[in-house]
Amino acid sequence: MSDSQKTNKSSKDQDLEANRVEPKPEMTTNQGVKVSDDKNSLKVGSRGPTLLEDFILREKITHFDHERIPERVVHARGAGAHGVFKVYESLADYTTAKFLQDPSVETPVFVRFSTVAGSRGSADTARDVRGFATKFYTEEGNFDLVGNNMPVFFIQDAIKFPDLIHSVKPEPHHEIPQASSAHDTFYDFISLTPESMHMLMWVMSDRAIPRSFRMMEGFGVHTFRLINAQGKVHFVKFHWKPVLGIHSLVWDEAVKLAGKDPDFHRRDLWEAIEGGDYAEWELGLQLIPEEDEEKYDFDLLDATKIIPEDLVPVKIVGKMTLNRNPDNFFAETEQVAFHTGNIVPGIDFSNDPLLQGRNFSYHDTQLIRLGGPNFAQIPINRPVVDVNNNQRDGYHQMNVNKGRVSYHPASLDGHSPTEVPIPAGGFGSYLERVEGSKIRERSISFADHYGQARLFWNSMSVPEKKHISSALQFELGKVETREVRVRMLEHLARINEVLASQVAAALGEVVKDGKVTPADGTGVAPALADFSKAVSETTASGGLQRASGLSLVEKPKFPVDNVKTRKVAVLVTDGVPAEQVTAFKEALVAAGAKAEVLASHLGQVKGADGTAVAVDKTFTTSGSVMYDAVFIPGGKNAEALRNQGPIRYFIAEAYKHAKPVVTVDEGADLVKKAITLEGITEPESAKKAPDNRSLGLIIGQGSDVKGLVGQLLAAFESGRFYDRPNIEEMAV
């Protein structure tokens, strides 16, 4: 054989080697048992309870729960506070739970808020789900309402939870990116998991970047049961409605806050409570009689679905007030242990397969994170009632148990705990008849993965649709694998083709009739204005085309004061009219809002009349993203600030973020120069013509500062001013 033949043969061998497809490994348990179904836990029938004998589920979740020490596997970064809960009226018609019976009883609570994906060192303002977990220290034992700030979840069955979190966590080969879903492994998983589409719409919306913990809703996510003394059952969804209303950041703010103040949310909660501005939420219930379980075109047991409030209104039943900060972060906020399985008589589980798996997972997680089985003896986890059982020894045992009896039944020593009959207050599970084959199968009633994603999209305002589109463009633009991007665009097309086309244009693709092809350079993406018409012609879910309470712009109305604790920056330098600063602060504080004076240095600035004006923060250590509005006093103050680039940037940034901007007299020229917007009413004509209040631009005279504060408060009630012209083209 010639050398050339040898060379050719070698090349052919190399080509074959390069093109050889290795067989995919078969999935097994840690014991080598081949797994036939990794998508569904073992249940009694397709809608029945999960079986404890499911060794595949238990092994998978146990390994997942023990993967990281010492911080939480998820929800590692958080903040907490103590408080109280009171019910408005007895709910005896629905439940025997005592803390929901007597309006005069205050039930102590501890609440922990958190982000999900990031480590303890990540920033508060990442685009993420927020945990909202409440521990009620009731007279019948602890009840934990372990929820999120979104009412749905990515998956339907707990057996997929380890896969979800593995995909969203930093990729294991280089531990990048931190606290971000914008990478290949997350969207690889999501694109292969259609049930995630509804939750994805929530996470890409403004709900994923709340203004503060105090201004976000909370949801129990799962469907539970309430049982009254007569044994009557209602399915229930738990809601927390913030008294301050629902407010979110815009993405540009969230990104900048991560650098300027990564503790923005934690600091806000702490400072509000320390200042006596207690955080408050009303508890709401969606109640569905047991006989209506199969009334809707979605399944109550499916955690990827909401019950639209148009179909089942939320009944407001009580209020929670957080009024005390922790004394020690580690001892309380870090060591608090929540568990979906901590319930009290009158509350019981449904057969939601995600909830059933969580009931195993949470307890197992605490065993490794808090060092052993006695974590309930840590003060923050300890119930307010006596604990009596035969559970002894173990790591960190704090009780000194006397005598020789640690079993039941027992006749020795005379202090063995006795069982409590159900009529006397002992816990009894709901007597549900269960029958069916042992099977790994998803109920067909869980099969609609796009209807409620479409319902959410349809329910958004035009600005919110733009934000969702921009979020997906950013996220999928970070995905390096085209195959994954294409799969995601195909899913988005099934939700709304205008949305899919907008995202596709940013990815160099074209979507038409649900098909994705590379852009040839001649196609033009649909105009953003089309979002206003991008509503499905058919119903999306539950017989609805849109649903109330989902949009933050067309926000649900709360019978509360939305301006309390809103924060305004007052920009000053030497020569500021001190009387304007004083009048503005007094009027604002009287309404429950706050003002902080910003200057180039700490200490004081000298007013025009020689009066000293105290400075709270500097321009260097703050930014417009930390405030809800900006006020620029007039006079020489405005003239001196006009030529300072950072000040003009501060104002322009606030304007771009659709926040109210207030000024007087000479400040109008500064604002005009900052935002380069024509048509601002000149101060001398303010009394003769309407100003730009419809745009959140409040310009008047220095002699009427208190009147301008009234206009500012009204602007806060209106929310953000997304109708401002050209804000998307501004350079800041």
Relative to beta strand 233-242, strand 279-289 is antiparallel
Residue among 40, 142, 148, 637 flagged as catalytic: 148
> Which tokens is 211 given?
């203004």
Segment holding 43, helix H or strand E: strand 42-44
Angstrom distance (rounded) from CA 48 to CA 436: 8
Please tell me whether residue 617 adopts helix, strand or coil conformation: strand
Angstrom distance (rounded) from CA 460 to CA 532: 9
Q: Please name the residue that has the structure tokens 């709401």.
A: 284
DSSP characters over 404-466: S--SSS--STT-------GGGT------------EEE---GGG---SHHHHHHHHHS-HHHHH
Neighbours of 130 (CB within 10 A): 25
> Which tokens is 708 given?
């301008």
Peptide bond into 690 cis (omega under 30): no
How far, CA to CA in Å, does 469 sit from each of 135, 141, 312, 375, 477?
37, 46, 30, 44, 12
End-to-end CA distance of the chain: 71
Please tell me whether residue 602 adopts helix, strand or coil conformation: coil
Annotation marks residue 148 as catalytic: yes
Q: Please name the residue that has the structure tokens 């909830």.
A: 355
Neighbours of 495 (CB within 10 A): 25
Angstrom distance (rounded) from CA 7 to CA 14: 10
How far, CA to CA in Å, does 548 sit from each of 42, 200, 311, 552, 687?
36, 19, 10, 10, 39
611-614-615 Cα angle (round to 5): 135
CA atoms within 13 A on the CB side of 600: 10
Relative to beta strand 315-324, strand 279-289 is antiparallel
Angstrom distance (rounded) from CA 494 to CA 449: 10
Start-end of H helices in 20-66: 55-65
Angstrom distance (rounded) from CA 322 to CA 48: 38
407, amino acid identity: Y
Which of these, 136, 455, 158, 205, lies nearest to 303 by C-alpha position?
A: 158
Segment holding 10, helix H or strand E: helix 3-19
Is-contact 462 532, C-beta < 8 A? yes
How far, CA to CA in Å, does 676 sit from each of 4, 603, 623, 658, 730?
73, 32, 20, 15, 9
Is-contact 467 251, C-beta < 8 A? yes
Is-contact 244 566, C-beta < 8 A? no
> CA-CA-CA-CA torsion for 370, 375, 380, 385, nearest 10 degrees?
170
Is-contact 205 460, C-beta < 8 A? yes
Q: Which residues contact 482 (CB under 8 A, 6 or more apart)?
A: none
Helices 55-65, 353-369: inter-axial angle, 10-degree rounding: 40
Angstrom distance (rounded) from CA 466 to CA 51: 44
> Which tokens is 350 given?
């449904």
Residue among 40, 75, 247, 467 flagged as catalytic: 75
Annotation marks residue 75 as catalytic: yes
Active site residues: 75, 148
